[in-house]
Structure 1
């Protein structure tokens, strides 16, 4: 049986692993964190489980819509139906569209858990080096342990990290541009009445998106709270505050976060809703690789059939959940055709 190593348990990595396993490949998935899902992240806190990464996703191509239907049928996802608002000239206004939005249920990470079912996952394992010997791949992790042999290697991590890992074996990876920008995510659990139609807001130069998490399907409000809100700060704001206010706490690029970020989130929320709310709980997270650069051209997945090496990710397809899915599907199709 052909063995495959997949580095990264985000949507691209999980979709690739699931497709390959279904085709009879023996697949191991390596993930440096303790959870799976990548940008479909949900954080379990003492007072709630909150979505801190992607807030919803869309489905355009027929094949991906079929995949989403499977998630809907098994209860891993539901439609999130609402009319979005938009900040225009400092004023909150309705901004109707015909976009069909989907969310994981009971949280965004549920889709990742569904995809990961029956896969062999190695969590909390950071792959620090790869080596090809005798037509096989071997991986070295952070503890010095070696994994292998694998006949195929699929790298499904952000472009910057992928470039560091594979550029010696795949020179074309060095030319890959950094397609993703940072994002501060702030969650506020509040008390106070807010118009129920306000569920999703396209923001401004400070906050790019506001979600009313408590309005999503199957969400549970924390005790003593009326609502839970998620603010995704803009790439410009996030980059500026990362540089001027944050210092790396470790080599994993976690950051100490000043109270100014929380204060800015509260002020923006109050201004947007034109209503002062009492904050009961708060949480923050810094995403180093989050927003897709608007000017970034789509980059094709890297594929080397001779070395049996593929590099995939949503950054190859516009930074969306659907893009992550397609990068995986295209890589698998090339693998099985060899």
Structure 2
């Protein structure tokens, strides 16, 4: 693969791929670099021999016109489906149905629409970028002994990871400071399977009391079989238990889920599978639309810049691409 590009995008989640897709459609020569073995970021699905779980993003909604158009394209291509099962909320005393809205999931896995987006892009997986350096021609991106050059650069990665790469001196000092001072919160996820169905009136529930913030019967989504459940711990609990082992987290959150099931009149299940995953940078709080160093062609993107939702990540990528397209004309 060649080493000179118009734009390099670091990160192949929703923000990075939407930016790359728009830039390529505008005629830019774009390379996407991703440290993981697959695309999607937190739009992720874990599998083992007998089960699968959407252990990151649980679903997404579409509020803006631009994202609704994209969702319609994914629906027609059967890359996503509607999740119409009831969603409840628990306040510690009462279970109530949550506000109705259209919810969507990737089919058969959460990253299905992203995999479709990636097929038309120049993408390198399992590439850990270790340094970026501004040059007279734009940017040099290094991953060990591999080096690429680009006139413009999109960092579509969590704020703390971006801060470690961005030079802290002028002219990117302000962008570095923004990324370095934007806090992101963790989330522990636990994935469970049981033999028999649990008789609850909902497929997912927001938990506003105790260690959990969310639980879902993941098998209620189209294309998912079995009796598989996903638990998300609250931000405060995840932060307090950030360095606990996976086994410790599994034991504590199963105990909490069993306690809730007892309150809801359910017998304690015989849990057959139990896995845990720590999302260290799960949530961000910034609402900035675009953060860039216009004179160097560097721009940031990610759901952490847009309220933390999948739609926000998509729009952040579009905004990043538009900022670069407006900044210069590639020769």
TM-score (norm 1): 0.88
- Work out whether residues 155 and 162 of structure 2, in 8 Å CA contact, stay in contact via their aligned partners in 1: yes
Distance 1:165 1:2, change over 3 A: closer
Structure 1: how far apart are the matches of 2:253 and 2:5? Answer: 50
1:336 maps to 325
- Work out whether residues 205 and 236 of structure 1, in 8 Å CA contact, stay in contact via their aligned partners in 2: no
Distance 1:297 1:324, change over 3 A: closer
Shift of the alpha carbon at 1:49?
A: 2.7
Where do 1:195-274 residues align within 5 Å? 195=199, 197-203=201-207, 204-221=209-226, 227-243=227-243, 245=244, 256-257=245-246, 259-274=247-262
Where do 1:320-331 residues align within 5 Å? 320-331=309-320
- Work out whether residues 5 and 31 of structure 2, in 8 Å CA contact, stay in contact via their aligned partners in 1: no
Shift of the alpha carbon at 1:37?
A: 0.6
Of 287, 297, 303 in structure 1, the residue corresponding to residue 279 of structure 2 is 287
Shift of the alpha carbon at 1:335?
A: 1.8
Q: Which moved more, 1:54-63 or 1:266-275?
A: 266-275
TM-score (norm 2): 0.90
Q: Which moved more, 1:52-61 or 1:171-180?
A: 171-180
Q: Tell me the secondary structure at the aligned position of residue 190 of structure 2.
A: strand
1:252 maps to none
Shift of the alpha carbon at 1:90?
A: 4.1
Of 89, 108, 111 in structure 2, the residue corresponding to residue 109 of structure 1 is 111
Structure 2: how far apart are the matches of 1:90 and 1:260? Answer: 27
1:58-115 CA-to-partner distances (Å, cap 9, x unmatched) read 1101111111111111011111012212222244x13231221111111111122112
Structure 2: how far apart are the matches of 1:24 and 1:312? Answer: 20
Shift of the alpha carbon at 1:297?
A: 4.5
1:5-24 CA-to-partner distances (Å, cap 9, x unmatched) read 00011110011011111111
Tell whether 2:183 aligns with 1:183. Answer: no
1:94 maps to 96
Q: Tell me the secondary structure at the aligned position of residue 108 of structure 1.
A: coil
- Work out whether residues 314 and 320 of structure 1, in 8 Å CA contact, stay in contact via their aligned partners in 2: yes
Shift of the alpha carbon at 1:119?
A: 1.0
1:251 maps to none
Q: Tell me the secondary structure at the aligned position of residue 329 of structure 1.
A: helix
Gaps of 5+ in 2: none
Structure 2: how far apart are the matches of 1:327 and 1:118? Answer: 20
1:278 maps to 270
Q: Tell me the secondary structure at the aligned position of residue 36 of structure 1.
A: coil
Structure 2: how far apart are the matches of 1:303 and 1:327? Answer: 12
Where do 1:1-338 residues align within 5 Å? 3-91=6-94, 93-141=95-143, 143-148=144-149, 150-168=150-168, 170-172=172-174, 173-176=176-179, 177-195=181-199, 197-203=201-207, 204-221=209-226, 227-243=227-243, 245=244, 256-257=245-246, 259-274=247-262, 275=266, 276-292=268-284, 296-338=285-327
How many residues align? The count is 315
- Work out whether residues 52 and 228 of structure 2, in 8 Å CA contact, stay in contact via their aligned partners in 1: no
Structure 2: how far apart are the matches of 1:316 and 1:297? Answer: 5
1:224 maps to none
Shift of the alpha carbon at 1:44?
A: 2.5
Structure 2: how far apart are the matches of 1:306 and 1:328? Answer: 19
Q: Tell me the secondary structure at the aligned position of residue 241 of structure 2.
A: helix
Shift of the alpha carbon at 1:303?
A: 1.6
